[in-house]
Structures are given as C-alpha cells and as structure tokens.
Structure 1
C-alpha cells in the first residue's frame, strides 16, 4: 500500500488522503479514506469521489487545478463537495497572495439534514508556487 498524500502546517495541523480505492472495479466511483489532525482533534471518514469517466469540472483534481490556474485571485468562495458530502473543500483568495483552504470531514454516508458530526481545519497556502505544487501533487496522487 502506498503512502498517503499529506498537507501539513506547523506540525500540529495535517490533512491526509489515502490512496483511492475502486470498490466496484468499474472506474466510475472511488473511495478515499481521509483524516484531519489539528492540536488534539482527530477526525476521519471515507468519501466517495468521481472516477475516471467524470467531467474534470466535477472532480477534486479539476477543482484544485483551477485554483492553481487562478492563483492571481478570485472573489468569493469556491467549493468542491464529494458525492455524499463526506469531504468538502472550500477556498478563498485574500487578494494579497494567500489562499485559505478549508477542509471539512463529515460522517460517512448520506446526511441530507446536516445532523452528523463534522470537523474542519483551514490551511493557508501561498497563492503562487505553493498552491501550484499542492494542486499538482494532489492531482498526481489521485490520478495515479
């Protein structure tokens, strides 16, 4: 089994994404185990994500690649959501060269009424090279 993708800040804040798994063997849906660690908080879930045949506009790699391409900035919040909302990524550009990347994990399975647990951490990335490197590394990891 290969190593997880890790986004880490200050030693106490980490987001881990484990290698994608194709539970049905058809390439349409993948699952990824993912974890958040911050100070004394640890949360983990399994998220369903689009597979090989999805439009790049709906995938997590497509989302982070668009963030990196727009490194000079955008207004408002951009959001990507896994199939059943177990993993939500949101991004805000501060207009001064940094992007706040929010990672929210929720209990696995459908939760249409928002009653399940959730955990959130925010990672601040430099909008140029650091964001580009993050997007490239995560995209490569998920598509490998």
Structure 2
C-alpha cells in the first residue's frame, strides 16, 4: 500500500490524504481516506472526489493548481469541497506572502439534524515556492 500524502504544519499539525480508491471501477468517482491531526485532536473521514473524467476545474488537483498559479494574490476566500462535503478546503491570501489553507473534515453521510461532527485545522504556506510545491506534490499524488 502506498504512503499517504502529508501536509505538515507547525508542531504536530498534519493533514494526511491516503491514495485514491475507485470503488466502482469506472473512474468517475474516487474515495480518499483523509485525516487531520492538531493539538491532540485527531479526526478522519472518507471523502468522495471527482475521478479522472471530471473537468480539471472541479477537481482538488485543479483547485490547488489554480492557487499556485495565482501565488501573487487574490481577494476573498476560495473554496473547494468534495462531493458530499466530507472534505472542504478554504484558501485565503494575505496580500503579502502567505496563503492560509483551512482544511475541514466532516462525518460522512447526510447531516439531517445538524449534529454531525467536524474538525478544522489551518495551515499557513509561503505563497511562492512552498505553495507551488504543495500543489505539485498533491496533484501528482492524486493522479498516480
């Protein structure tokens, strides 16, 4: 089994993405097990993401590649979410040199009563080389 992709933050903070699986064998929908660890908190979920036939702009790879391409900055928050919002990433540029990636994990399945758990951690990346490296590494990981 392949090693997970890891985004290491400060201290013990990390986001892990395990290799994509194709549960239906058709390439349209993949699942990824994902974990967050920060300040003694640990959370994990399985997210449904677009497969190989999806337009690049809707995929997690496309999202992080656009962030890296716009390393000089953007206004507001950019958001990407998995198909059922088990994994949500918000990105904000500080207008100077850093991008904050907020990674939120949620319990899989519908939350009909608003009682499902969620966990969130924020990772700060340098807007140039560090963001570009992150985007390239994650994109390569998701496509292999």
How far did residue 11 of structure 1 move? 3.5
Alignment of 1:70-81 (within 5 A): 70-81=70-81
Q: Match for residue 67 of structure 2? A: 67
| TM-score (structure 2 length as normaliser) | 0.97
Q: How many residues align?
A: 144
Regions of 4+ moved over 6 Å = none
Q: Match for residue 93 of structure 2? A: 93
How far did residue 9 of structure 1 move? 1.6
Bigger Cα displacement from structure 2, 3-12 vs 34-43: 3-12
Q: Match for residue 58 of structure 2? A: 58
Matched, 1:134 2:134: yes
Specify whether residues 113 and 87 from structure 1 end up closer, same or farther in structure 2 by C-alpha distance, changes over 3 A only. Answer: farther
Structure 1, unpaired ranges of 5+: none
CA distance in 1, matches of 2:63, 2:139: 10
How far did residue 113 of structure 1 move? 5.9
Specify whether residues 118 and 101 from structure 1 end up closer, same or farther in structure 2 by C-alpha distance, changes over 3 A only. Answer: same
How far did residue 111 of structure 1 move? 2.9
How far did residue 115 of structure 1 move? 2.9
What is the root-mean-square deviation of aligned Cα atoms in Å? 1.0
Bigger Cα displacement from structure 2, 6-15 vs 42-51: 6-15
Matched, 1:41 2:41: yes
